[in-house]
Structure 1
Amino acid sequence: MTIRLSTPEVAGLGPLVGKLADWQADTGPVQLHPGDLGWFWRFGAERTANSVRVWDRDGEVLAIGMLDEPDLLRLAIAPDALADDELAQQIEADLVEPARGVLIEGEVYVESPADARVKVLLFKDGWNTAEPWTPLRRDLAEPVEDAEVAVDVVGPEHAAVRTAVQRASFDGSSFTDERWHAMAAGTPYASARCLVGRNERGDAVAAVTVWSAGPGKPGLLEPMGVHRDFRGNGYGRAITLAAAAALRDLGASSALVCTPSSNVGAVATYRAAGFEVLPETRDQKRPF
């Protein structure tokens, strides 16, 4: 049996989204989520397909990677393949050699599940740890408290409001109306929602996109932002509560989010919205 590395066609993205959803579990490691692929879809289906790498053994998909950037690969691995040594060795070989078409030459980063065998092999190869990230999770077994702001579910006719809040929340954001429509046309968005929070005057003050992996699975917040003109008023906590409630309505078992540990304000916001801090994770950095 041979493990094969491939890049999917656009038509193959749907089944891969389904695989990623199947692999999500509250008891398993935090790893690449269908929503991560869904958020990337704002660049279009073809570019999304070109960013994906798939490892399979005789047609059985064992691992899915997404090049979030040319120098950053984010990996998800089937739960029963996390310790698969043959798979780990093949991924390791594909990551070490730029000619294999996974990562570019030079300094690059890999995010893999905490329990993955490939992580151990990369450390043995001399890969280093990068800056820490903090994952957070909120259980959704019980109803979520009221967000205490007006919340709109964004449809195509209000995409401009959603994208404007995004650009006002993140310096350098390139989220346009066209990219919102591309994202919304993607397979993962069928189980997603964009929310905009408004203050008492009706100003759009915060926004979030939530992604379901299906009933009984963890959902994802990606991204969440507060308009720079309205920070310091609790709107981050409010829209995060609205996001958790939306995921619960979609059948999610929990809500996940991940942020750089250095962003202490974001960590505090999610904690204020009832999210529990999980053990820090670190990408691995290639030393050459």
Structure 2
Amino acid sequence: MRIELGTPGVGGLAEVVGVLGDWQGDRGSVQLHPGDLGWYWRFGVERTAGAVRTWRVDGVIGAVGMLDEPDLVRIAIAPELQQDEEFARVLAADCADPERGVLIEGKVYVEAPMGSRVQDLLFKEGWDLDEPWTPLRRDLTEPVEDSGMRVEPVTPATSAERTAVQRASFDGSTFTDERWQAMAAGTPYAGARCLLGRDGDGTAVAGVTVWSAGRGKPGLIEPMGVHRAHRGHGYGRAITVAAAAMLRELGASTAVVCTPSFNVGAVATYRAAGFAPLPETRDLVRKG
């Protein structure tokens, strides 16, 4: 087995998006989705390419890492390699060694599929479990009920409203019109939609972006937010139901979302929208 760590470059991002889509399934743990890469694309194609790492096995991509931050890598692994001992040892070594160019020195985090061999190895090597996250999933076999909300796809003409809702939903958000345009120009957005929810007066009060991984594959909600001035009216549940309906229209088998377990309000919102919680996931942290 010849394993090579590298970066795809801008020209290789389409291949990465493709393999991430191929690896998605409704069984097994939730892992890095093409939509995660698509959401990162708001920072531009060059920065996105610079944040991606690939591990090739005899020339074929066997794992993809995305550096959400210099101290956090999120890793997706081909299903047939998730329990491979040799491959896991290489991944673990590469994540632990700053000179390999995956993670910086000091306190760092690794997100890998729950139950994968690399996660077991890092834990045995002294890495600790970080705070739990709750993934939730909704089956899309049957038609989705009406959301009861006026919801419309975002276009370039309404993107400013979408980004304004995002900034008003999350403290510290830097989502601008330029970043929406960069995201919308990215390869993953070909199978994505942004939705804007309005109240009875036509005011934009909620927004969501959904990402397809292809027909018959799980679709991702990332992100969803409600304007802080319009909370407490059920808009979060409504826009999430609309997001599920859009993913079904795009051919997704299920809709998936993930939120920190301590965010009990978000978990309750997704459950109210018909999502069922899956077993919690945890990153691994090396405290340096």
Report the AA paired with residue 53 of structure 1. Answer: R
SS in 2 for 1:25: coil
Q: Partners of 1:6 and 1:86 in 2: how far apart?
A: 18
- CA offsets, 1:136-186, max 9 Å, x none? 000000011111010010011111011000001001100000000000000
- CA offsets, 1:210-236, max 9 Å, x none? 000000000000000000010000000
Q: Partners of 1:189 and 1:242 in 2: how far apart?
A: 18
Q: Partners of 1:211 and 1:3 in 2: how far apart?
A: 30
Report the AA paired with residue 252 of structure 2. Answer: A
Does residue 285 in structure 1 map to residue 285 in structure 2? yes
Percent identical among aligned pairs is 69
Report the AA paired with residue 133 of structure 2. Answer: W
Does residue 96 in structure 1 map to residue 103 in structure 2? no
- Give unpaired runs (5+ residues) of structure 1: none
Match of 1:223 in 2: 223
User: Offset at 1:13?
Assistant: 0.2
Match of 2:202 in 1: 202
Match of 2:274 in 1: 274
Report the AA paired with residue 212 of structure 2. Answer: S
TM score, norm. by length of structure 1: 0.99
Q: Partners of 1:87 and 1:115 in 2: how far apart?
A: 15
SS in 2 for 1:182: helix
Q: Partners of 2:279 and 2:114 in 1: how far apart?
A: 10
User: Offset at 1:124?
Assistant: 1.1
Aligned alpha-carbon RMSD (Å): 0.6
Match of 2:73 in 1: 73
Task: Name segments (4+ residues, structure 1) moved above 6 Å.
Answer: none
User: Offset at 1:115?
Assistant: 2.2
Report the AA paired with residue 125 of structure 1. Answer: E
- CA offsets, 1:229-278, max 9 Å, x none? 10000000000000000000000000000000000000000000000000
Match of 2:51 in 1: 51
Match of 1:250 in 2: 250
TM score, norm. by length of structure 2: 0.99
Residues 1-288 of structure 1: pairs in structure 2 closer than 5 A: 1-288=1-288
Report the AA paired with residue 244 of structure 1. Answer: A
**For the Cα contact (< 8 Å) 1:154–1:195, is it kept in 2?**
yes
- CA offsets, 1:92-138, max 9 Å, x none? 11011111100011101111001211001101110000000000000
Report the AA paired with residue 173 of structure 1. Answer: S
Q: How many residues are treated as equivalent by the alignment?
A: 288
SS in 2 for 1:157: coil
**For the Cα contact (< 8 Å) 1:150–1:197, is it kept in 2?**
yes
Report the AA paired with residue 14 of structure 2. Answer: G
Report the AA paired with residue 31 of structure 2. Answer: Q
**For the Cα contact (< 8 Å) 1:126–1:287, is it kept in 2?**
no
User: Offset at 1:28?
Assistant: 2.4
- Give unpaired runs (5+ residues) of structure 2: none
- CA offsets, 1:14-51, max 9 Å, x none? 01100000000001220000000000000000000000
Q: Partners of 1:156 and 1:11 in 2: how far apart?
A: 26
**For the Cα contact (< 8 Å) 1:221–1:243, is it kept in 2?**
yes
